[in-house]
Amino acid sequence: MSKRMIAALAALAVSGGAPGAASAQEVKIGLILPYTGPGAELSPNMDRAIDLYQKLDAAQIKPFKLTIIKRDSKAPNGAAAKVDTQELLTQEKVDVIAGYIYSPDAIASAPVITAGKRLAVIMNAGTAFITNLSPYYVRTSFTLWQSSYVMGEQAAKYLHAKTAVVAYTDYPPGKDALDAFKYAFEHNGGKVIDAIPAGGPGATPDFTPFFQRAKDEHPNVLFVFVPAGDQATAVVKTYAALGMKAAGIQLTGTGDIVPDNMLQGMGDSAIGLITVHHYNADLDNPQNKAFIAAWKKAYGADATPDFTSVGAWDGIAAIVHALHATKGKIDDGAAAVKSLEGWKFASPQGPIEIDPQTRDIVMNEYLDQVYKGSDGKLHEKVLATFHNVKDQCKALAIGPCAPKK
Ligand code: PHB
């Protein structure tokens, strides 16, 4: 037996485990995303972000080893996500839960998260009241009250619009988008003349009848929220097909209608679109430049991360922070949550912080316009930046965020 082998066996005897397990404490993360069904197109951009973080920031993760256990939340109605959450907590005995693209998945899982007493990091779902449903929820994504509120304000102040029609996907984040846009627009002198529920979060509806109704009402702006993915492309194409721009109606929305990874596929119809969001791939800051370069190196020159990728990236960074702050005892959910209250991070989207009161993210919102660059590709130009925006539903304590009487 060689000296090296003897040394390796001795080390194994001391650690009492397999090679490699000696120093690394394994941390199990249960990741719940839609791998099948209408949301399946959104999950790879989050998975890729989580993989990339582990590769690039391997040194930061040490001495821990992250094991990601994936489960499929299927249709965006909460049923499978709730079962997944239960199974991951009780059978797989994960230390942390993460993921949830669709709000119904996080809403339905909340009681299970509370019973399981583990940190759960929401990486996308954006209905404001979700973080009120469990003390173990921490959100690194966004709320629709952040983007839609700023868009409502800027529709009045920047675009000088007087009238708006809102079209929204008829489920909790869509209702938040409507309420937030309407509140801010009307407090700044505008009037929402119609609010059109435009299908559910599942299969992409034909937007023609909804947008035709809006066109016939001649508003200054059409404000749209749909969940990112194929629905976004259909929104932009239908707006163009109905000649709404020529009719003098400006399409606005949350950034969900122009996700970066789908922008090139939208073609010239997207040019001129005005949205508010916390991220676009063209953001000019050192973290985003490094993020985009690493992404293209890993996944190809034409690959582009989007806001869902950034929610996952920031979410993994949050988990790694909690791991170190709790000295590996991240399975103590209360301690893990506490360690994230007030946590600050230099994200590709700009500086972020977890609000210690609400466990929601505080971040910049950007007023963006789509344009065609000299490279022939579509890009987003930042027209204005709004710093440290909190969830306005909780800040104003209105609607579903009002204190219970
Ligand atoms: C949500 O269900 O909360 C959701 C899904 C997709 C988005 C935004 C919000 O693009």
The number of folded domains in the chain is 2
Residue range of the domain that includes 308: 3-142+283-359
Do residue 245 and residue 383 come from a single domain?
yes
44-67 per-position pLDDT tens digit: 999 999 999 999 999 999 999 999
Do residue 336 and residue 381 come from a single domain?
no
Domain boundary among 359, 375, 393: 359
pLDDT on residue 21: 44
Do residue 297 and residue 327 come from a single domain?
yes
Do residue 242 and residue 386 come from a single domain?
yes
CB 331, CB 118: distance < 8 Å: yes
CB 109, CB 76: distance < 8 Å: no
pLDDT on residue 24: 82
* Residue 245 alpha carbon to ligand 1 centre in Å: 26
Do residue 180 and residue 269 come from a single domain?
yes
Site of tokens 């069904």 = 37
Q: Which residues line ligand 1 (CB under 6 A)?
A: 101-103, 124-127, 173, 227-228, 256
Do residue 161 and residue 26 come from a single domain?
no
* Residue 124 alpha carbon to ligand 1 centre in Å: 6
Q: What angle do CA 91, 95, 97 make, to 5 degrees?
A: 85
pLDDT on residue 317: 98
pLDDT on residue 133: 97
pLDDT on residue 23: 65
99-137 per-position pLDDT tens digit: 999 999 999 999 999 999 999 999 999 999 999 999 999
Dihedral, CA atoms, 157, 162, 163, 167, nearest 10 degrees? 0
Mean pLDDT across 279-296:
98
Q: Check whether 20 has a pLDDT greater than 50.
A: no
Do residue 346 and residue 375 come from a single domain?
no
* Residue 84 alpha carbon to ligand 1 centre in Å: 19
Residue having the nearest C-alpha atom to atom 7 of ligand 1 = 227
* Residue 95 alpha carbon to ligand 1 centre in Å: 25
Q: Check whether 330 has a pLDDT greater than 90.
A: yes
Do residue 27 and residue 134 come from a single domain?
yes
Do residue 260 and residue 382 come from a single domain?
yes
Do residue 303 and residue 318 come from a single domain?
yes
The enclosing domain of 62 has a CATH number of 3.40.50.2300
This prediction's pTM: 0.94
72-98 per-position pLDDT tens digit: 999 999 999 999 999 999 999 999 999
Q: What angle do CA 45, 48, 52 make, to 5 degrees?
A: 140
Do residue 186 and residue 316 come from a single domain?
no
Distance CA 180, CA 150 (A): 8
Average predicted confidence (pLDDT) for the chain: 94
pLDDT on residue 403: 82
Do residue 133 and residue 49 come from a single domain?
yes
